Chains A and B, each alone.
Chain A
Amino acid sequence: MKKRKDNRRLDEMRKIEAKVGVIKRANGSAMFRIGDTIAVVAVYGPRSLHPKYLQDPERGILRVYYNMMAFSGSGERIRPGPSRRSREVSMVIEKALTSVLDLKEFPGGVVDVFIEIIQSDSGTRCAGICAASLAIADAGFKMKDLISAVALGRIDNDIYVDVTKDEEDIEGMADVPVAYLPSSGKIVLLQCDGFLKKEQLKEILKIGKKVCLEIYKVQQKALKEGYKK
């Protein structure tokens, strides 16, 4: 059987770790780690939105801020402040999280989700979304489901689960982050960079779903641990 540089099987995730309540001041918070990628998330709200004209009297607003810390990348320092990349990542995560929340519960209000990547080795948006859904649950929001996400890749004709930066840098690979609602198997985030045959996409979605159920177990355990205290 094919092994990877770090000795994993193709369908094997790196070690994952999750914890809620890591930021005391926040209404909800969580840390999610997969391999060397670490995301920390804090949730504040619902609180009233200012300036007032931004408020929606029918439903609340969810705002997501995804950020990579200046020293978190593998190359030179990342310039602080929003980039085109971070704004796009924030937006796709925002859409995914909106799908599990009932925003009508807090009309005129806003919920802010801050995702900070302390250390990265690929898969930061997936780690971010796993942590964010935990932090929202930790804050006590009514949710339709948690969200579990993983980055898959196609390298040559093989499907790799949870790709690392080294694997992501391979010429001609396709990078596919995907997020699921674990209870129903529905997909709430899907992106792809690179060529995929239709059958390969099908396979990726099938493998991803299976892997995310493992992530889901770790997330559930973290939430239970959080409530023990």
Chain B
Amino acid sequence: MSIISKHIRNLLKEGKRLDGRGLEDYRKDIKIEYGVSKNAEGSARVRIGNTEVVAGVKMDVGEPYPDVPNKGSITVNVELLPLSNPEFESGPPGIEAIELARAVVDRGIRESDALDFKSLCIKKGEKVWFLLIDVYSFNDDGNLSDAIGLAALAALKDARFPKYDSKEGKIDYKKKTDKKVVLKELPIPVTVLKIDDKFIVDPSLFEEKAMDARLTITTIEDGRICALQKGGEKPLTEDDIDKMVDIAIKKGKELRKLLK
């Protein structure tokens, strides 16, 4: 174990963290900025401390999947850019990025019923909207997962449908309409780390390296869970999970307010 990991563990025994925060405190400066890329149908930048991510939504019209002829769909792509962390490598998304795209963003939005996929239908069996969400890391200073989850939601909130000519079957990307993406829920992912017998949120990079296990818990307004993803090599007990879920519900409420 590295010296810094040992130090983090020793501090946690006294209920302290390296930067002086409480165990269940996010960094104070969480900033959400909308409309950061004007060619996107929707976009947002999220900063948690020095951690920074940018999300954008593009829209396209295509044929629905044959098993759901009256529903549109979403595609989520997360890129952990080598620009944001010297340890990230160039190339197609690795397993970490795929996990974030699938388990944090896609599953949260899909399983919470936040989006009414039927509302994305233009003509049953023929034409539906696809929402293409891309999230990029710009600076990794820990807790990219929660930042990415927030940014994807913020970009969806910011999105306006482009003009679609159904006769010609063409989208005019230069003309945005007033039509918004209706989000019935705001599924907020909160990642809770377990280090020894302590639980912390919004980890720094060093804390991420020192962790035993993590659980990303996505909840909606009424406190129901809609997605879970366990990570890290050590096991969790039922009691651990119970405590971590409580933290995620509480923190989820605070973060949800920032999106309203």
Do chains A and B interact in one complex?
Answer: yes
Given known pairs A77-B60, A116-B136, the reply for A71 and B43 (CB within 8 Å) is yes
Chain B residues whose CB sits within 8 angstroms of the CB of A80 once the complex forms: 77, 79, 92-93, 134
Interface residue from B58, B90, B92 paired with A70 (Cβ < 8 Å) = B58
Say yes or no: A70 contacts B134, CB within 8 Å. Answer: yes
Interface residue from B54, B56, B82, B171 paired with A76 (Cβ < 8 Å) = B171
Query: What is the count of residue pairs linking A and B with beta-carbon distances less than 8 angstroms?
Result: 87
Q: Report A54 CB to chain B, min CB distance, Å.
A: 14
Q: Report A80 CB to chain B, min CB distance, Å.
A: 6
Say yes or no: A116 contacts B39, CB within 8 Å. Answer: no
Residue of B nearest to A42 (CB): B83
Bound CA span A71–B56, Å: 6
A25 at the interface (CB under 8 A from B): yes
- Write out, one digit per residue, whether chain A residues 108-145 have a CB within 8 A of any chain B CB (1) or not (0): 00001010101110000000000000000000000000
Given known pairs A71-B57, A76-B173, A119-B37, the reply for A47 and B138 (CB within 8 Å) is no
Say yes or no: B60 contacts A23, CB within 8 Å. Answer: no
Q: Report A45 CB to chain B, min CB distance, Å.
A: 9
Bound CA span A40–B58, Å: 20
Chain B residues whose CB sits within 8 angstroms of the CB of A41 once the complex forms: 83
Chain B residues whose CB sits within 8 angstroms of the CB of A120 once the complex forms: 39
Chain B residues whose CB sits within 8 angstroms of the CB of A77 once the complex forms: 58, 60, 132, 134
Bound CA span A65–B79, Å: 14
Interface range on chain B (Cβ under 8 Å from partner) = 35 or more
Residue of B nearest to A114 (CB): B83
Given known pairs A24-B50, A25-B86, A114-B83, the reply for A71 and B139 (CB within 8 Å) is no
Q: A69-B56, A80-B134 are in contact. List 17 more A-B contacts (CB 8 A).
A: A23-B139, A25-B84, A25-B85, A44-B82, A65-B82, A69-B134, A70-B56, A71-B40, A72-B37, A72-B39, A75-B173, A77-B58, A77-B134, A114-B81, A116-B81, A116-B83, A116-B136
- Return the 9 tightest CB-CB contacts between A and B, nearest first: A71-B56, A71-B40, A77-B58, A114-B83, A70-B134, A42-B83, A119-B37, A77-B132, A24-B50
Give chain B's interface residues, CB within 8 Å of chain A.
Answer: 36-41, 43, 50, 52, 54, 56-58, 60, 77, 79, 81-86, 90, 92-93, 132, 134, 136, 138-141, 171, 173-174
